[in-house]
Structure 1
């Protein structure tokens, strides 16, 4: 595969906001203040990087627990808190409570929001009752509940300002993702790919909750908001009915392509970026064609939702390699030319770098050497298969056929990385990536669609790669060369979001429950502390009263921890994860706790 050498320039974070006067001025100003954490990923670029540097590689070993907070919920705690001024906003899995804590008054609970939801939504949530966080804007806290209700809460009182329904749980749609506030809109995706939902991203008016635009992942051009002549794919117009022609009949109506991952935004280009998930069903024989635009990176106009460019990473997905992972934005030099870049670590085991203005594909490389379903991506622009991965027949669940157990596929369906977000440091110019080092056996079978019922059509089992026992790595990635710089082994998958800091320290959590700190340049472990439960949350940092704090939600669950979270024992349950992570119960138990760390006597 061709590799394009990329050279970073300094000030990547600041550069993203140049010419952004038309965007949400409040949040653009707030995201520059490292003392706060005002968005789910820290900033619009999804870099999960903090300029705070009181905690350094030299003193991080002295971290101590400053305070803790129990959420009162015992399922998987993904995401992390927001810090707005003196207030911290903490969310939970179902029933999706939100707490407002006063950091200036012994972390007192100022208000608590607890929605009343129909518990029948729980069985419709494929991979635990997780929620990835809340968003802030215009004095409101925005929450996407499990029942797909998007609610706006007064940030001072917790009272409901407005609410709107984003989907129909009766047909399998649920809410698990964090909203993103862009200008005067709140953007949110939808979950339900395992139930045959036709998925979408929707923009709602921040003032009153009225729908402004909705863009589906598959369907007619007007529904997916494509201009056949202006929406580009690998440098060419997509053409008329680019999605419809890749589905058989009306299959697109139950096509999946859900959008439950993270969104990012470039104020200068006024574009939002996100990925779509797997096509429905998991049995590829039942849906011939490329199944566009599932498994796709979208670059859309923030005002209208119109797609400017798309790139489908895994056409005709045969392994459930959802493309929903975060898009990390950075400004860098490519062969001496300034380029606006997007870096994405996909479930399929490939790390991509694209030009986020045009959608040009620059780099596509494996970020785990065990990835074996593909020999790589065709990077020859004159080739008819340009941009497509070469699938090896041995691991093709389609070519092997229905009711055939295809063995030894790497990665497993949960991907080399799932939704757990990576971080990027403009100082080291490296990406810090939590990964799954897991393979699988995959047996497709015929399944019929019934609204509101599982529409999966495959049985899975998961395990470490042959000859190895560890199921995770935490890596540093150079997107200039498409190579791993260093890699730390972990016994289980690293299902926590990473945090990079100006202090030269990178933080992440483990499924056993450890918060770990490593040297940003070398990966050397500098500190670890075992929290009350396994960590699938994202590390956050903020400053209050002159001290830098590190905060992490622990509470085992999510797809990897679904056996513990839901009390499942069948090895093939939890879409194959229960057997693969059976040993996790030897190291941790359920719990929902926020643990906050600081240095002793820091000034």
Structure 2
């Protein structure tokens, strides 16, 4: 990381240091885990190295904390000074634990949420974490309520309703604090909700700005300077046969750059060419924002991705369906979009683009890398969105042959296009993606990304579905099965500039636990069959593992307390990977295809999975 970025990082941590000092803790940036992925850049990298390749073999379980809640426990706890903050799946309880006194509970917060919320949460009752800033802990409840709690007492400071569950809108994302704002998003792509990213004032919760994923430019907060460096990202259509591609046997042929029509306005309306059973397509367009957000203080830009267009049946929404499936960079103060790049125009497979965007530097290059569900890994210039690398994470990806770097458009393979009442077989990857929400990590020490992977393919049939407000609106049936490697998961080290894997380890099941990289030349992650693992970051060699009580869908993290380093991870199987198991679903297509594919997980996990925090030390 450059000196300028280190300086920016120091400024952003000032409030954390002040709070840590007030709690009696030593003033150390590295001792804390103060953001969902540790820092603004979402690298999930720690410079702590007491636990390293030489000592990791002595790692032992130090303590555990049972949350008392079943279902999937995603995300990671926060550590600020001498206090560790735990969150749970629905009903999203929060605990503050005293690290000085045997993890005694200092305070707890129990939200009052209707049990009905569970019925409209897609892909399990998960919460991806908490945020910290200005002496407050921020919780985004599943019912759309954003809550600010006093970090020392747990008393509610303010609350803000950001989504209406009656429309099918919920929240599973972790909020993020950047400067004087807390950012949150929206889930509901399978309910026809038009989602957004919104910023609220950290002091009192008033709305500062809201940017929708689709609609007129004023709603999406697109101005005249949008995509200045890459105006072709604002093309009216990137495919030749927009209409012909939406009939049986039809496909989409990518246009060359000289044939693109750009720049055009109001693409969030004009690229939705047919009403979807009710009103205009874009009005129920999806584009959920439930992943991870990153921020460059020097550029004052916040980065995030939008999810799938509603509905999963692509035939009822001809066009590129902008700005679903898009990576955005926005000015933090105004919400105005600096650039936006759509990864999967006219999505036909539910390849949400909400996965994390990791910021990093290479010499003078200011870069951003994103591992998409569609199976491609992208590296862009984060200043203006210029695409530098777009490469398949694994050869099994077949829905597109390649991405044209000149236009940024994927060349689709018509054999794997999906259409209403037509079953398409052997699409790779499955809707779970080559990587889903489980975030990767980046090590400035090795220069590599460490990426949890899914290795599944699918059969997909789009079906007719009518929009009814507040009711599920999927419009597709699918089943999943292992990819050509014969396994369902993997974990790899990736070179973001070359666009290639340095090493790749197979895993019997999808790796649904987020990665952690450390200066001790280690990388940590958990598995659905209950293993928590440490690998040599340079070679991928397994150095240590421990079997926890339930499958891991949480993200590994680390902190130091009184001079000793600890590694922590939630266990508690769930998320999309475990929802069928948790609910006792058994038909092949149940759980959006996971019931059949993951049936053997019942041999390793009690259901529903019980939540716990597992902490390890030397």
- Bin for the TM-score computed over the shorter chain: over 0.9
SS at match of 2:581: helix
Please report how far the alpha carbon of residue 546 of structure 1 lies from its aligned counterpart in structure 2 after TM superposition: 1.5
1:528-539 superposed matches below 5 A: 528-539=545-556
Please report how far the alpha carbon of residue 232 of structure 1 lies from its aligned counterpart in structure 2 after TM superposition: 4.0
Separation (CA, whole Å) in 2 of partners of 1:327 and 1:119: 33
SS at match of 1:560: helix
| Corresponding residue for residue 433 of structure 2 | 415
Alignment of 1:254 onto 2:284:
yes
Task: Tell me if the contact between 1:445 and 1:458 (Cα under 8 Å) persists in the aligned partners.
Answer: yes
Segments of 5+ residues of structure 1 without an aligned counterpart are 1-10
Match of residue 487, structure 1, among 504, 529, 540: 504
Separation (CA, whole Å) in 2 of partners of 1:318 and 1:25: 45
Task: Tell me if the contact between 1:17 and 1:267 (Cα under 8 Å) persists in the aligned partners.
Answer: no
| Corresponding residue for residue 352 of structure 2 | 322
TM-score normalised to structure 1 length: 0.93
CA, structure 1 residues 396+444, in 2 after alignment: closer, same or farther (shift >3 Å)? same
| Corresponding residue for residue 150 of structure 1 | 146
Match of residue 614, structure 2, among 582, 595, 598: 595
Task: Tell me if the contact between 2:313 and 2:476 (Cα under 8 Å) persists in the aligned partners.
Answer: yes
Alignment of 1:391 onto 2:412:
yes
SS at match of 2:68: coil
Please report how far the alpha carbon of residue 24 of structure 1 lies from its aligned counterpart in structure 2 after TM superposition: 7.0
TM-score normalised to structure 2 length: 0.91
Alignment of 1:298 onto 2:324:
no
1:29-178 superposed matches below 5 A: 33-178=29-174
Task: Tell me if the contact between 1:554 and 1:591 (Cα under 8 Å) persists in the aligned partners.
Answer: yes
| Corresponding residue for residue 371 of structure 1 | 397
1:164-243 superposed matches below 5 A: 164-232=160-228, 234-236=230-232, 238-243=263-268
Separation (CA, whole Å) in 1 of partners of 2:139 and 2:592: 27
Q: Output one character per residue of 1:360-407: Cα deviation in whole Å (capped at 9) or x when no partner.
A: 00000001111011100012x3xxxx110000010011xxx3111100
Separation (CA, whole Å) in 1 of partners of 2:9 and 2:81: 23
Task: Tell me if the contact between 1:198 and 1:217 (Cα under 8 Å) persists in the aligned partners.
Answer: yes
Segments of 5+ residues of structure 2 without an aligned counterpart are 21-26, 235-262
Structure 1 residue runs of 4+, over 6 Å off?
A: 28-32
SS at match of 1:72: strand
| Corresponding residue for residue 367 of structure 2 | 341
Separation (CA, whole Å) in 2 of partners of 1:469 and 1:375: 22
| Corresponding residue for residue 298 of structure 2 | 268
Separation (CA, whole Å) in 2 of partners of 1:20 and 1:76: 32
Q: Output one character per residue of 1:128-173: Cα deviation in whole Å (capped at 9) or x when no partner.
A: 0000000000110000001010000111111111101111111110
Bigger mean CA deviation after superposition, 520-529 or 14-23: 14-23
Please report how far the alpha carbon of residue 596 of structure 1 lies from its aligned counterpart in structure 2 after TM superposition: 0.5
Please report how far the alpha carbon of residue 28 of structure 1 lies from its aligned counterpart in structure 2 after TM superposition: 8.9
Task: Tell me if the contact between 2:229 and 2:384 (Cα under 8 Å) persists in the aligned partners.
Answer: no
| Corresponding residue for residue 545 of structure 1 | 562
CA, structure 1 residues 556+201, in 2 after alignment: closer, same or farther (shift >3 Å)? same
Please report how far the alpha carbon of residue 230 of structure 1 lies from its aligned counterpart in structure 2 after TM superposition: 3.5
